[in-house]
């Protein structure tokens, strides 16, 4: 059984540390996720993370426990958790890291107090899917580049 989890969380480190902290998260996560069969995407805005992970149910459960107790973020809020019969992502990647106020608008409604609105979750998942989509390779292949 495949499982998909989407969560949002808040950084616990200073903005000036972001590049180093996020690099230290991403490099091992890329290796570990590839070996576990986990795919998905992570975005890091100025203050928040949003991540989708998908993979075998038991693997996602264990990974989510690790992520939940990681001191590099707090207020980890799962906004979607469900079974799925197909993968939406071909690999796991850091899809965005930066201070874009626009990307923050996808995360902010979900970290704000109050009920999670499914439409906001769908909007975030759509953003993650679009950012992580491997567009360049097929295009290059189509025009005969190596």
Binding site for ligand FMN (CB under 6 A): 25, 29, 32-33, 42, 49, 51, 53, 63, 66-67, 70, 72-73
- Between 35 and 101, name the residue whose CB sits nearer to ligand FMN: 35
Cβ-based neighbours of 76, under 8 Å, separated by 6 or more: 7, 8, 9, 67, 68
| Residue recorded with tokens 């795919």 | 39
- Between 72 and 88, name the residue whose CB sits nearer to ligand FMN: 72
Structure tokens at 129: 């899917």
Beta 73-84 vs 39-44: how paired, if at all? unpaired
Write down the least CB distance from residue 109 to ligand FMN, Å. Answer: 19
- Between 66 and 100, name the residue whose CB sits nearer to ligand FMN: 66
- Between 32 and 99, name the residue whose CB sits nearer to ligand FMN: 32
Write down the least CB distance from residue 139 to ligand FMN, Å. Answer: 27
Sign of CA dihedral 111, 117, 120, 121: positive
């Amino acid at each position: 059984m495949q499982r998909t989890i989407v969560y949002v969380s808040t950084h616990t480190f200073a903005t000036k540390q972001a590049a180093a902290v996020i690099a230290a998260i991403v490099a091992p996560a890329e290796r570990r996720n590839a070996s576990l069969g986990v795919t998905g995407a992570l975005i890091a805005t100025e203050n928040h993370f949003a991540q989708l992970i998908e993979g075998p149910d038991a693997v996602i459960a264990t990974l989510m426990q690790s992520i939940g107790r990681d001191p590099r973020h707090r207020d980890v809020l799962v906004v979607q958790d469900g079974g799925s019969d197909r993968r939406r992502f071909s690999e796991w990647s850091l899809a965005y890291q930066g201070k874009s106020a626009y990307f923050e608008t996808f995360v902010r409604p979900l970290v704000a107090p109050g009920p999670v609105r499914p439409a906001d979750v769908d909007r975030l998942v759509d953003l993650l899917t679009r950012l992580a989509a491997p567009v360049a390779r097929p295009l290059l292949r189509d025009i005969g580049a190596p």
